[in-house]
DNA sequence: ATTATCTATAGATCTATAGATAATGC
DNA sequence: ATTATCTATAGATCTATAGATAATGC
């Protein structure tokens, strides 16, 4: 908060546009006219171009913002854990629960498919870091960490698709089952994989 | 070929539009003007509306066509195999190789994310059928076939993303490693999982 | 004679900006 | 005095169709 009031107002306008854009992305309305987006953000049409060069530019910013925000939450909620296999499992289980708890964020990710996995930031980067740590600690024995990341990232996205398509399904049970399957695949003994993926979780509302 | 020449010409025009649309989807150009698509298909603007109500209608048809075509290829190339674990692995390995061999088809799938997994047709439906058969035969022991499908479908899509992002990477090696990991996860013993995922494959060019 | 296609374009829609207004800094 | 925002709109772009042309059926 070192900025002055003018810059804070500017930041608020930008944030309103980003938040509105995330809603449009979540609803798959990627072709919505800029005017509609600015109206939804309660911002004048002309202000749009003070902040973004084009609609694509805005959507890009909206996606990166969503990724950074959720990644930060995950780091906060796994900060005190020593066992890297536990960190990985807990991050996966929290991300699985995110699909229903934060449906807009979830749909932003799903609608952007895998674009985001290659960006150095965000969830993929964090998951890779956790997998590497677990390999170094001898907790995982999988052959190639990058391919392990591919399977984990693909699974968490496809799981989101399933949870939105079948609202009746128990999201925690499905998520934890997949976490257990992945841990086994990564080299954790079956009984331990089951135990780790059933541990109590911190609250996502933090 | 029971149709007359008029209907065959009509079908050709429609097919040209579908093929052009698949190229546009593959290149992420979902907002391209209809005129550009018809020009790329070498078809008059007005003919578009003889076949499709809107651009979305065309893109939907293009996606379903791509899925049906490749699914048919997979069925043909796994037709003679008795062991359902082998069928599953071979389908996965062929699909992984499809990303580089048929990059446009691959990108059509990636750009549409997971929309297609819920449609009853196409790849997801076939994979589910194979998993169920392997469970019934006692070859797989995974807890929930639907969640196994989630992991397999997510993995094959994320793998495609990786193979396009890293053109240097050996696609066959990456695909087969993931196939092996998935087989283990599904309950196949480690040594057998490795052997099944290294067997010779039929040629995708058929 | 019938059907599909093509060319040309009216009207609808959207983008990007000019110029006016409002808020803040100093 | 400066900066951000707002309203209003010119001009660009796109969609959907009308009417003309070409291909096929009978």
Q: Which of B151, B166, B197 is the best mutation test for A, with the most CBs of A within 10 A?
A: B151
Cβ-Cβ contacts under 8 Å, B114 against chain A: 110, 113, 157-158, 160-161
**Which one has a higher pLDDT value, B151 or A66?**
B151
Q: What is the predicted pLDDT for the residue at B120?
A: 58
Indicate whether B150 pLDDT > 80. Answer: yes
Residue of A nearest to B151 (CA): A155
Q: Which part of chain B has CATH 1.10.357.10? A: 62-196
Q: What is the predicted pLDDT for the residue at A148?
A: 96
Indicate whether B72 pLDDT > 60. Answer: yes
B116-145: average pLDDT: 87
pLDDT band at B177 (very low <50, low <70, confident <90, very high): very high
| Contact assignment for A147 to B181 by CB distance below 8 Å | yes
Secondary structure (3-state) at A103 = helix
**Contact flag, residue A13 CB and nucleic strand D, below 7 A:** yes
DSSP letter for each residue of B79-121: TT---HHHHHHHHHHHHHHHHHHSHHHHHHHHHTTTHHHHSSS
Q: Give dist(CA A64, CA A45) in Å, integer.
A: 23
Q: Give dist(CA B33, CA B99) in Å, integer.
A: 27
DSSP letter for each residue of B152-194: HHHHHHHHHHHHHH-TTS-HHHHHHHHHHHHHHHHT--HHHHH
Q: What is the DSSP letter of A199?
A: S
What global pTM score does this model have? 0.89
How does pLDDT run across A23-63, given as a tens digit for each residue? Answer: 999 888 988 999 999 999 999 999 999 999 999 999 999 98
Q: Which part of chain B has CATH 1.10.10? A: 1-52
Under CATH, which architecture does the B62-196 domain have? Orthogonal Bundle (1.10)
**Contact flag, residue B48 CB and nucleic strand D, below 7 A:** yes
CB B96 within 8 A of CB B40: no
Cβ-Cβ contacts under 8 Å, B108 against chain A: none
CA proximity to A22, closest of A65, A84, A57? A65
Residue B69 CA to nucleotide D21 C1', Å?
A: 36
Judged by average pLDDT, the poorest of A85-89, A101-105, A110-114, B159-163 is: A110-114
Give the closest of A118, A142, A154 to B165, CB-based: A118
Indicate whether B128 pLDDT > 80. Answer: yes
pLDDT band at B140 (very low <50, low <70, confident <90, very high): very high
Give percent of chain B above pLDDT 90: 75
**Which one has a higher pLDDT value, A28 or A74?**
A74
pLDDT band at A21 (very low <50, low <70, confident <90, very high): very high
**Contact flag, residue A46 CB and nucleic strand D, below 7 A:** yes
pLDDT band at B113 (very low <50, low <70, confident <90, very high): low
Q: Which of A128, A150, A172 is the best mutation test for B, with the most CBs of B within 10 A?
A: A150
Residue of B nearest to A31 (CA): B31
Q: What is the predicted pLDDT for the residue at A112?
A: 75
Indicate whether A70 pLDDT > 70. Answer: yes
Q: Which of B25, B161, B163, B164 is the best mutation test for A, with the most CBs of A within 10 A?
A: B161
Flag whether residue A193 sits within 8 Å of chain B, measured between CB atoms.
Answer: no
Residue of A nearest to B115 (CA): A161
Q: What is the predicted pLDDT for the residue at A105?
A: 86
Q: What is the predicted pLDDT for the residue at B116?
A: 63
Q: What is the DSSP letter of A45?
A: G
pLDDT band at A120 (very low <50, low <70, confident <90, very high): low
Token look-up 């990303």 returns B99
Q: Is the domain B1-52 a CATH 3.90.1690 member?
A: no
Q: Which nucleotide is nearest to B38 (CA to C1')?
A: C6
Q: Which nucleotides of C are covered by protein (CB under 7 A)?
A: 3-9, 13-19, 23-26
Residue A33 CA to nucleotide D13 C1', Å?
A: 13
């Amino acid at each position: 908060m070192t900025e002055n009031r003018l810059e804070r107002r500017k930041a608020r306008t930008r944030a309103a546009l980003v938040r509105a854009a995330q809603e449009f992305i979540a609803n798959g309305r990627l072709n919505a006219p800029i005017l509609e987006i600015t109206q939804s953000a309660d911002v004048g049409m002309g202000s749009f171009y003070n902040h973004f060069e084009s609609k694509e530019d805005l959507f890009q910013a909206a996606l990166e913002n969503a990724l950074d925000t959720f990644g930060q939450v995950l780091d906060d909620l796994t900060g005190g854990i020593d066992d890297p296999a536990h960190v990985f499992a807990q991050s996966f289980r929290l991300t699985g629960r995110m699909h229903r708890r934060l449906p807009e964020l979830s749909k932003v990710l799903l609608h952007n498919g895998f674009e985001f996995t290659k960006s150095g930031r965000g969830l993929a980067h964090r998951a890779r870091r956790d997998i590497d740590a677990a390999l170094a600690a001898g907790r995982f024995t999988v052959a190639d960490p990058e391919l392990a990341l591919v399977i984990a990232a693909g699974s968490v996205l496809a799981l989101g698709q399933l949870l939105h398509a079948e609202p009746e399904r128990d999201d925690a049970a499905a998520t934890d089952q997949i976490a257990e399957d992945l841990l086994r695949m990564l080299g954790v003994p079956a009984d331990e994989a089951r135990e780790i993926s059933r541990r109590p979780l911190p609250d996502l509302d933090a």
